[in-house]
Amino acid sequence: MPKTIAEHPALADKFNQDEERVNWHDQTLWWVRAKRDKAAHTLPEWEELRNLASQIKHNVLANLSEYLIQFEENALKNGIQVHWAADAQEHNAIVKSILQKQGVSQLVKSKSMLTEECHLNEYLQQEGIEVIDTDLGERIVQLAEEPPSHIVLPCIHKKKEEIGELFHLHLGTPAGNADPDFLTAAARLHLREKFLTRKIAITGVNFAIAETGEFVVCTNEGNADMGAHLAEVHIACMGIEKLIPLRRHLGVFLRLLTRSATGQPITTYSSHFKKPRPGQEMHIVLVDNGRSRQLGRKDFRNSLKCIRCGACMNTCPVYRRSGGHSYHNAIAGPIGSILAPNLNMKDYADLPFASTLCGSCTNVCPVKIDIHDQLYKWRQVLVQEGYAPAAKKAAMQGMAFTFSHPAFYRMAGKTGKWFMKTTPFVINNNLNPWFKQRDMPEPPKESFHDWYKKNRQQNGHA
């Protein structure tokens, strides 16, 4: 996704210009959240699974180097070619070198947030290589020349009429036809030809098992399987944190993943790839790209437990009402807001502030990442490092001074109440963004301090 100088508030304002879109975006994601709750409540051992998954991931992060070496040894024994990439540039160069060796300029790719993070599509297109995304939602946003707005539901921000128009322009479907079944059938025909004619397929990785050297890819459409099984070369791209120690641990995560993501009991396709079939090449690219740095940040290392279910996005009141593109990062929402500053504090300093800190994200996280707490801690780091806007920093310093001086606090409260009663326009105007979408409250009859002092005296306290 190309970097933009616009920050979350400005991009959220743009999304909020279409009130109807905001409403159904909000309601649709809340419906998905409700499905998640229903699915979770069918399992009496749900909290036990969350605790177990969190502990397994904690063990992985504490012993990451050993598990990576074990995974590489076993993958090599299985006949998989293993590559290591320190950053996005190395990842993209490795993929390009494999393509050049095969002499191909076209490929199919299933959903992979890592390749979005590394901007692989843009890189390959600049090199004259055609990439066809085969996940239906990702193909839709690719045709629209947009990045995904959600890690599980990439085109959740689009209306079916808009998708019908895209398909009319690019796939030749009848104008005005927005029937989802018809459009899905048209996409199937369009993609079938790509699957059959492309020599190389790229997939992501949901889980890699150190014990066996295999990896697992989860999809609901089967597109990753079709691409990988038809291609002569399969390239799997994964972040180094995707490891789990043992195959028997997989059941814990598969039970949590899709219930948390969409409320399904299990992903439609959970495909294991252990070795290339005869005549096929299989590559896996292990990518760091800032993960080692995040691992070294004690307050933020738990963010690497993320299994990319998107539950924190579906429940976040800010994400639901501001849209995924307002986060200007490959991974949006609460989890993206604690991963992005690790990549670049300056470019993503706005994101930890795009939260009410209500804690709903933490409550639904299947691996118990303390998301809202990390958002709060990132705010402190960013302010201390000098990345907060001067106006916000001055406002926070002013509030800190006010709260730490009781006499000044009481005087400020009385002054504010006087302005609210006599000249409300001084507070509620276009220069104060707080009131853009809020109503001016009635001035209180008395402050809490006065009320407490009066009632304390009535109850006989000194």
Q: For the segment 239-272, what is each residue's pLDDT rounded down to a tens digit? A: 999 999 999 999 999 999 999 999 999 999 999 9
pLDDT at 453: 84
Portion of the chain with pLDDT greater than 70, in percent: 98
Distances (CA, A) of 158 to 16, 28, 225, 336, 360: 14, 12, 26, 21, 25
Distance between CA atoms of residues 314 and 28, nearest Å: 9
Distances (CA, A) of 232 to 65, 84, 237, 281, 358: 31, 22, 17, 6, 49
pLDDT at 394: 87
Q: Domain residues of the chain, as ranges? A: 43-289, 398-457
pLDDT at 5: 53
Distance between CA atoms of residues 98 and 108, nearest Å: 14
pLDDT at 202: 98
User: Which pLDDT band holds residue 390 (cuts at 50, 70, 90)?
Assistant: confident
10 Å CB burial of residue 84 (0-12, 13-18, 19+) is: middle
Would strands 214-219 and 269-273 be described as parallel, antiparallel, or unpaired? antiparallel
Count Cβ atoms below 10 Å from residue 35 Cβ, excluding itself: 16
Side-chain-side CA neighbours of residue 114 (13 Å): 33
The pLDDT tens digits for 18-40 are 999 999 999 999 999 999 999 99
Select the more confidently predicted residue: 462 or 382. 382
Distance between CA atoms of residues 24 and 3, nearest Å: 28
10 Å CB burial of residue 404 (0-12, 13-18, 19+) is: exposed
Distance between CA atoms of residues 303 and 368, nearest Å: 10
Of these ranges, 131-135, 392-396, 433-437, the one predicted with the greatest mean pLDDT is: 131-135
User: Which pLDDT band holds residue 1 (cuts at 50, 70, 90)?
Assistant: very low
10 Å CB burial of residue 58 (0-12, 13-18, 19+) is: middle
pTM: 0.89
The predicted model gives 300-307 an average pLDDT of 97
Phi and psi based region of residue 328 (left: phi greater than 0; alpha: psi -120 to 50; beta: remaining) = left
pLDDT at 3: 46
Please state which CATH class domain 43-289 belongs to: alpha beta
pLDDT at 200: 97
Distances (CA, A) of 208 to 69, 278, 307: 12, 22, 12
Q: What average pLDDT does the chain have?
A: 93
- Which residues make beta-bridge pairs with 207? 216
Distances (CA, A) of 357 to 128, 375, 420: 44, 8, 28
Poorest-confidence range of 47-51, 181-185, 362-366, 420-424?
420-424
The pLDDT tens digits for 64-97 are 999 999 999 999 999 999 999 999 999 999 999 9
pLDDT at 460: 61
